[in-house]
Amino acid sequence: MASAPAAMRTSQNPEDEVVVRLDEAVLADGLADARWLMRDAVLAGARWIVVDLSRVHSVGSPALATFLSAHRVCRARGGAVVLRGADRRTRDMVRRTGLSRVLHLQGGPVGGGEKRDQRGGGTRDTGTTGANLRRPLWA
């Protein structure tokens, strides 16, 4: 089991918001650790769960399913799940699957403008925010 920090509260109200920071160490052995962090946040009564993905290169569809499961509980409480700092590949997958209507995207990876992609030599956009993702497709 990875020695990653547990969910961190960002508010005095325990039912308000919980930030779950994910990194490569948490995801190294699969999604079990991430699922436990999300479960702990839900059981703590969080209405809003902010998943910080700024230290993760990308997440796959099983991770999105985990976030969606937590979102169902948060939505019933009047909140939601927010993905903060997701890379371009993750943001594209969220848009393609239609989950952008359900999961909120907040910002891109830390940094500004275009940066050289270390994996493939291309460029990636790090300045996109999720504000324009909640528009209807016909607008």
Q: What is the pLDDT of residue 88?
A: 93
β-sheet bridge partners, residue 80: 48
* Identity of the amino acid at 25: A
Residue 112 has which token pair?
């500004």
Which bin fits 45, alpha (ψ -120 to 50), beta or left (φ > 0)? left
Pick the CATH number of 8-133 from 3.30.750.24, 3.40.1190.20, 3.30.450.20, 1.10.150.530: 3.30.750.24
- Per-chain mean pLDDT for the chain: 76
pLDDT tens digit sequence for 74-93: 999 999 999 999 999 999 99
Q: Answer with the residue of higher pLDDT: 68 or 138.
A: 68
**Of 86, 95, 76, which Cα lies nearest the Cα of 128?**
86
- The domains of the chain are located at 8-133
Q: What is the dihedral angle through the alpha carbons of 58, 49, 108, 34, rounded to the nearest 10 degrees? A: -20
> What is the rounded average pLDDT of the residues 46-56?
95
Nearest CA-CA partner of 20 in 10, 28, 31: 10
Given a cut of 50, whether residue 26 has pLDDT beyond it is yes
Cα separation, 95 vs 104, whole angstroms: 11
